[in-house]
Amino acid sequence: MRLHVVRAGNGSPPIVFVHGMGLSGSSWQGLMDRLAAKHQVLALDLLGHGNSPVPDDPNEYTRDRALDDIDLLFAQLGEPAVLVGHSLGGYLALAHAATRPGAAKGVVVINTGPGFRDPDKREAWNERSRRNSHRFAVPEIATNLNLQHDSVVMDHLAEMQVPTLVLVGDQDRPEFLGAGQHLERKMPHATLVVLEGGDHLMHESTHVDRIAALIDGFAAGLG
């Protein structure tokens, strides 16, 4: 396993946390502290983030390589986990579910979206990511993780059978609410919860207790 992973707690199902662009596994500490009494909780640092390595090869910083890293962590667990992702991590969680049906027991996404079917919108996203790469506080090469090159999540939403909890803060950018509504509408087993007063980082600040309770209840309902 090439990524740095922090583990705590015991219990099933395990919960694996994937952070957003420019953050690290430490952004999940509050949730991990609250959930570790009932679950094994694990938070990884994506490549080029936190305590994970920073390879020189730009081809290492792709969605598909990140999904391979999640596969390795799942293999170590030996049982299906709940995959929780924020922003970029949420997109990766959706991409994992889209391309690996049945691998995750459940998915929770926080303030994220499924990407773009329109190539022009996708390239506009990529150009904005490149233009703002200096703002992410990670090596510039690591910001390649934020680039999107296809519409794999959008193309598979209607087929994704995994139970999915979609959390959106009503104080985040409006496009995240629209994305959350789209996920609930298109995915067969998605439930949207809009959290009043929540911003983009609500899971590590204002809404830690509420989100921990939602994830715990969601995991308990998976059987």
Sign of CA dihedral 100, 61, 54, 137: negative
Average pLDDT, the chain: 97
Residue-wise pLDDT for 105-156, tens only, equals 999 999 999 999 999 999 999 999 999 999 999 999 999 999 999 999 999 9
List the pLDDT tens digit at each of the 223 positions of the chain.
899 999 999 999 999 999 999 999 999 999 999 999 999 999 999 999 999 999 999 999 999 999 999 999 999 998 999 999 999 999 999 999 999 999 999 999 999 999 999 999 999 999 999 999 999 999 999 999 999 999 999 999 999 999 999 999 999 999 999 999 999 999 999 999 999 999 999 999 999 999 999 999 999 999 7
pLDDT for res 162: 98
Domain ranges of the chain: 5-220
- For domain 5-220, the CATH superfamily is Alpha/Beta hydrolase fold, catalytic domain (3.40.50.1820)
CA dihedral 31, 1, 156, 122 (to 10 degrees): 90
The DSSP bridge partners found for residue 5 are 44
3-state SS record for 147-189:
CCCCCHHHHHHHHCCCCEEEEEECCCCHHHHHHHHHHHHHCCC
